[in-house]
Each structure stands twice: as C-alpha cells, then as structure tokens.
Structure 1
Amino acid sequence: MNASPTSPRGAAHDEPLLRITGLKKHFPVYGGLVMKRRTGAVHAVDGIDLTIREGETIGLVGESGCGKSTTGRLVARLMDSTEGTIAYQGRDITHAGRKELAPLRSEIQMIFQDPYSSLNPRHTVGRIISRPMEINGIAPKGGTENRVRELLETVGLNPEHYNRFPHEFSGGQRQRIGIARALALNPRLIVADEPVSALDVSIQAQVVNLLRELQEELGIAFLFIAHDLAVVRHFSQRVAVMYLGKVVEIADRDDLYQRPRHPYTRALLSAVPEVDDTKTERIRLIGDVPSPINPPPGCRFRQRCWKAQDICAATEPPLIPQIGSATTHLTACHFPEDVSATIGGRTADAVGIV
C-alpha cells in the first residue's frame, strides 16, 4: 500500500504528525528487607527516535519484551516517560497534564491486544462505543445512538447488536467493537497494540484488512505494534525493528524486507515462512536476550551476533543510513549486512543455520 502525498484531511506530510525523540521509560526495581530501597531499573524503552506522518502506518516489530507495547502506551500518554520528548503536531505533550491533554485525547486513540479484557462486560455495545463521545462532550449529528450504529456497520457488525453485551460476541467481533470505540472520536492517530495476536489465524486477516480499509478511507495514521512480520508487511508502509528497548533498524516496508541491513532484522525475516519456492537461509540465534535491568554496553545485540567485534562492545552504533542504502533506511550497526553475501566465517559460532 503506497502512501499518498496528502491525507484526506488535507494535511501535508512535511511536518510529522508525531515525533518521538530520545524516548525512555525505566521502571524502578526495589529490593531489601522492606522492599523500599531502589536496586535498579528495567530499561523497557531506552532512547528511541521515531516519526509518524499524517495518514501513515508505521509497523513496530521485535521479540516479546523488547519494549513495543510500552512505546505504544507512551505515545498514547497512558503512562509518563522517564526521558525524551513526544511532540504531536509540533507541540510537546511529553509532560502535559490532564487539562492540556483533554483536547488531544480524541485525536490519539488505542486498540488493545486483548479483546476480552478491554471491554467492560457490564456495559452494552452501545454504551461501550458511546462512552468516549459522552466523556468528550461530543453530540453527533443525528444523535449518539445513530452514530454508534453507523460505527458498528463500518466495522462489519450488525447495527442491531447495539444492546448486546460483550460476552455474546466472538473474539474477532469483540475486537471490531474495540475498533469502533477507537473510531468514535474521529482520531488522527491510532496506536494498535498487537490487535490480532489474540485472534484465530482465520480471523486475523479479516481484522487487518478492515484496519487497512479504514486507514485508506479515513486517512488515519497508525502505530501498528506486532510480532508477526507477515502481518506487518501487509499493513505497514514503514517498519521499525526494536531490540531490548532500542530501534535497531527502520526503513520503507519493501526496502527492509528485501534488503535488511541489521543482523537481527535478517534473523527475524529468515523465520518468516515463504509462500513461494524461494529458499531462504534460516538463522537460529544462540543465547538469550540480555536482561533489561542490566543491558550490555555498546551494541545490545552483539552477544548473539555473528559479526560482533571489539568495537561493538565499546561503542554503541548510531541509527544512521549505511553506505549503499537509501537515506530513509536507518541501521544501528557497525557492520551492517551485505544482503548479497552468504553467511560464513564466524556465523557458526553465533547462530545455527537450519
């Protein structure tokens, strides 16, 4: 899916809708006999830079525990950051209070991972979807109930389901209710935190296609968080790869999938099943992800990387364009991959080839 130069809302892409700079989130760890002494911190998100343009979809991928969901919650301002800035339409909202955020709440919405726990079981579907409009003092033309029924139809549900309760729906239908709730305030940015990972495989494609249609029709920007690279490729225009709290590579979708430069990205992509007859070398990483409480100095991937050298332990690689790559393809690696070369040499010491 190609991005259009301007969104249906008429905003130019010159100024990003959202700009994240040096964003960090450290969760304190306490120990001792009375559990009141701080002994360290979990570096969940540890300094990431990211931009999202109007009407654009950014995919955020990585292993479980790499900081994807925490990043999404920071963007949606559901939690406060430790350091860094979050600028929305050029306005710094990093430490904005409740009153300052109130006008922006309708523009930044979130779709949660679990469609079972994200809906109040005591409320009807009509109540769940209309509640955001009531909180924000929005009175739709034609009435709130008519608006809710329109939203139900938009996400592929029967408008007559207005008075039903969440337990009467399947997982995929519940997620559609969550999507309708996110659309109720006409948002400009939606943070979708693994919106299909809890669904059956047969339902995942339907929900992703629905989100894609909504993105094209309404011009909504998405931060699409997922661990399934095949789903991300289908939906996203640009993809950012996270590892242990940091973005290690970001590029346009086709460029990243066809020419990965970071060894970690290449290892992830090698695990994606191929539908054609192309034989892809399977890379199996050896070792565990380091603890986010005490991340290693230098490159955080170096302990599992087949290209690591002394400089990787001494100096953290910056996220910059590499020689031979597009200026929009950024990689944080001292020895980026040459995708035309086969793995050899020290590879067997660090990875297993299947």
Structure 2
Amino acid sequence: MKKEDLVLPAPRESAAPAGGAGEPLLVVEGLTKHFPVKGGFPIRRTVGQVQAVDGIDLTVHVGESFGLVGESGCGKSTTGRLITRLLEPTAGTITYQGKDITHAGRKELAPVRSEIQMIFQDPYSSLNPRQTVGKIISGPMEINGIDPAGGREKRVRELLEIVGLNPEHYNRFPHEFSGGQRQRIGVARALALEPKLIVADEPVSALDVSIQAQVVNLLQQVQRDLGIAFVFIAHDLAVVRHFSQRVAVMYLGKIIEVGDRASIYSRPRHPYTHALLSAVPEARVTDGDGARRERIRLAGDVPSPISPPSGCRFRTRCWKAQDKCAAEEPPLVRITGNHEGHLTACHFPEEPTTEGRGEDIVLDPALAALEEAGE
C-alpha cells in the first residue's frame, strides 16, 4: 500500500461560499419524519411518535460537499433517506432544482432518482451476493433504460477503473472482495447514472482506518472530476472536516449549528458542538497557550426521541442551561460574532474564543502512525 493512499489531502476551499452564494441544487425546509410507536393488546394502536427528524432546514449548492454530523440516533441517516425519497416525509418540503419532490409519485420521481444517488453505510449488506459486480453496477442503467455508447459492459468496466478496481473484476461476486473494495463497488454503482447529488451515509465507518482514507480520497477525486454535490453523513469529525465545505451539526432530530468548515471547527458557538470537538479521540487539539484542551463530558443520556425535552433539546445535558432554555426553543439564526452563513440555535452561545482549535483535529492515531513511519 502506498503512503499517498493513506493520507487525506489538505481541505479544499469551498467552491460555494458559506454565505449561500452559488446555485442551490437541493433545498430542504421544515423536513419532518415521525415514526409511529404501536402498543396495546389485543388491539394495537399508535401510542406515540418517534421524532427522528423534526423540522430541519438545509441547502446544498451545485458541486458542494455538505457534511452532516452528530451522535448515533440523532436523525442523520433518516435525513439522508428522506432526501433520496427512500422514506416518505411526515411534513416539510424537499425541492430539487426548483421542483418540489416532497410527495412526488413514482413517475414524477423517475427522472429525479437517476440524478440523486446514495452510497450506503454497510458495504457487506448493500450489495446483492447473488449478482456479479457487472450486474450490480449495470442494474441502475437497465432499470432506467440507459444504453451508453459502446454498451453497458464497457461503461461498467470504465466505472470500475474510475474507482480504482480492475475492469477484469466484472464477473466476480461481492464475497470475493474486501470491505474497501466493496465500498468502491458501491461508489461505482452510485456513479453509473451520472448523478448530480450523492448522499453518502457514513461510507467509511465500517472500514479500517487505512481503507477509510482511500475511500475518502476516491470520493474527493470523483467530486473534483465530475462536479457532483455530496451530502456526507459521518461520525468522524476529522473525515468530515477534510471532505466537507460546509457542516451541519444535528442533535435529537434538530440541526443546532451550521456553517462553513473553518467557522464550525475553529469558532463553534453551540455547547454541543464544543463537546463533539473535545471528544475526538487522541486528537492533537490544544488551547492557545499550547496546553491540551480539556475533554467536555456531558452529563446524563440522550433523551428519548419519543418524548424530547421542551424548549432546547440539549438543555438536559448542557452546562449553560437556564430557565429560558426549557421555556423557548432557540431559533437557528446568525448570532453576534458569527460569520455570514454561520447559524446557531442557542440562547446562551459560547464566546468565539477558540480560534484555531479545529485546525489541529487529525485522523485516527493508527493512520497518523502509519504516516509518520513512512509506510
């Protein structure tokens, strides 16, 4: 394995400025998804609602990479599935290229589905074990009636080469590949229809750290070459920082902070964002005087999405919570000291005195050790 395959490149400057400049590709407003909770015997009835996603707004511009981070269960994956219309929204609107697709029918969605693709989290369960690689990648083209010049087989072999696999793997089955290779097959399948937007749902979380870097390098190269916009969902803050131009932080179904990469990582305003950044394992993150930053340990557990707290949903674990936090839900707005496009939902935000902290967030220590050893 080559060293350049292990190291993530330096973050690129945003092609779409943080202020929202550029042409919007996807606009989500008030997006909500509640799952019914059934109970009772012998007659089962709805006794509650899991508020997985509860009124979020976001915009993705043409060719932009938009990161979505947060704890497990905060609604990130559900948001991705709503955007791709794999789930039906409970409320809100999804506008793609100026067209409302929130409740579009099968025929109306047909042309849109080819332009919005998804890379799934698990490279082992997202591929049909009974189909060859050629069949898996050519399947979307067959379903959409697309016959590229030279035939589908030629196109599949080209895609395999684009994602760094041998075109001769065309007739192999998924079980003959490693996890990283399977994820590359998933990327090739997503690229088969030449999409304009890809929702990548934690595409590297199930992979070894060295393979993670290879897949992220691949996705960045694909974005540079093809100009595809990404919604990149992940837990790993270092990977999100390297890949995404803008970042949104989710907590319990709500977006609580959003802004450009430099602003979010260097000058976070929401207490939860501070806690996330402080929790990066073994990250070389220091205060301005060179001392290591202290880990912020949140008290209590994440509340149930069936019955979330009133007002600010983070208040039950927040060290700055006051009576106002329980009475009023903070709006997602620009607050004093924020850069343009940096929005925060907090009544008592942190002071922007953490300049440069996010710059030192690094990859997994095992990957850093490989880099330092020159392997």
Look up the match of 1:348.
none
Tell me the SS of whatever aligns to 1:285: coil
Look up the match of 2:152.
144
Encode CA deviations 1:131-174: one digit per residue, 9 max, x unaligned. Answer: 10010011111111110000000000000000000000000000
1:73 aligns with 2:84: no
Tell me the SS of whatever aligns to 1:247: strand
1:102 aligns with 2:110: yes
**What is the distance in 1 between the residues matched to 2:42 and 2:236?**
41
1:326 aligns with 2:339: yes
Assess if the C-alpha contact under 8 Å between 1:15 and 1:89 holds in 2: no
TM-score (norm 2): 0.88
**What is the distance in 1 between the residues matched to 2:71 and 2:33?**
18
Look up the match of 1:3.
14
Look up the match of 1:291.
304
1:124 partner amino acid: T
TM-score (norm 1): 0.93
Tell me the SS of whatever aligns to 2:297: strand
Tell me the SS of whatever aligns to 2:155: helix
**What is the distance in 2 between the residues matched to 1:13 and 1:240?**
17
- Aligned-pair distance for 1:202? 1.4
Q: How does 1:124-203 map to 2 (within 5 A)?
A: 124-203=132-211
Assess if the C-alpha contact under 8 Å between 2:22 and 2:62 holds in 1: no
**What is the distance in 2 between the residues matched to 1:115 and 1:217?**
24
Out of 120, 130, 140, the residue aligned to residue 112 of structure 1 is: 120
**What is the distance in 2 between the residues matched to 1:217 and 1:3?**
15
Q: How does 1:269-284 map to 2 (within 5 A)?
A: 269-272=277-280, 273-275=282-284, 278=290, 279-284=292-297
Q: How does 1:167-316 map to 2 (within 5 A)?
A: 167-272=175-280, 273-275=282-284, 278=290, 279-316=292-329
Out of 23, 40, 44, the residue aligned to residue 15 of structure 1 is: 23
Q: Which structure carries more relative contact order (alpha carbon 8 Å, separation 6+)?
A: 2
**What is the distance in 2 between the residues matched to 1:13 and 1:257?**
21
**What is the distance in 1 between the residues matched to 2:264 and 2:43?**
45
Unaligned runs of 5+ in 1: 7-11, 342-354
**What is the distance in 2 between the residues matched to 1:29 and 1:143?**
48
How many corresponding residue pairs? 336
1:41 aligns with 2:49: yes
**What is the distance in 2 between the residues matched to 1:2 and 1:186?**
24
Assess if the C-alpha contact under 8 Å between 2:16 and 2:64 holds in 1: no
1:315 partner amino acid: E
**What is the distance in 1 between the residues matched to 2:278 and 2:64?**
26
Assess if the C-alpha contact under 8 Å between 1:112 and 1:195 holds in 2: yes
**What is the distance in 2 between the residues matched to 1:56 and 1:290?**
33
Tell me the SS of whatever aligns to 1:72: helix
Encode CA deviations 1:217-267: one digit per residue, 9 max, x unaligned. Answer: 111000000011011001000000000000000010011000000000000
**What is the distance in 1 between the residues matched to 2:322 and 2:128?**
52
How much is the aligned-residue C-alpha RMSD, in angstroms? 1.4
Out of 90, 114, 136, the residue aligned to residue 82 of structure 1 is: 90
**Structure 1: 4+ residue segments shifted above 2 A:** 3-6, 12-15, 273-278
Unaligned runs of 5+ in 2: 1-11, 355-375
**What is the distance in 1 between the residues matched to 2:43 and 2:236?**
38
- Aligned-pair distance for 1:2? 1.7
2:221 partner amino acid: E
Tell me the SS of whatever aligns to 1:284: coil
Assess if the C-alpha contact under 8 Å between 2:333 and 2:344 holds in 1: yes
- Aligned-pair distance for 1:333? 0.1
Assess if the C-alpha contact under 8 Å between 1:194 and 1:227 holds in 2: yes
Assess if the C-alpha contact under 8 Å between 1:166 and 1:174 holds in 2: yes
**What is the distance in 2 between the residues matched to 1:103 and 1:116?**
28
1:138 partner amino acid: I
Tell me the SS of whatever aligns to 1:24: strand
1:78 partner amino acid: L
**What is the distance in 2 between the residues matched to 1:200 and 1:150?**
26
Give the % identical residues. Answer: 74
**What is the distance in 2 between the residues matched to 1:328 and 1:4?**
14
Encode CA deviations 1:271-330: one digit per residue, 9 max, x unaligned. Answer: 123236651121010100110000111000001001111100000000000101112000
- Aligned-pair distance for 1:5? 5.7
- Aligned-pair distance for 1:33? 0.6
**What is the distance in 2 between the residues matched to 1:315 and 1:15?**
34
- Aligned-pair distance for 1:195? 0.3
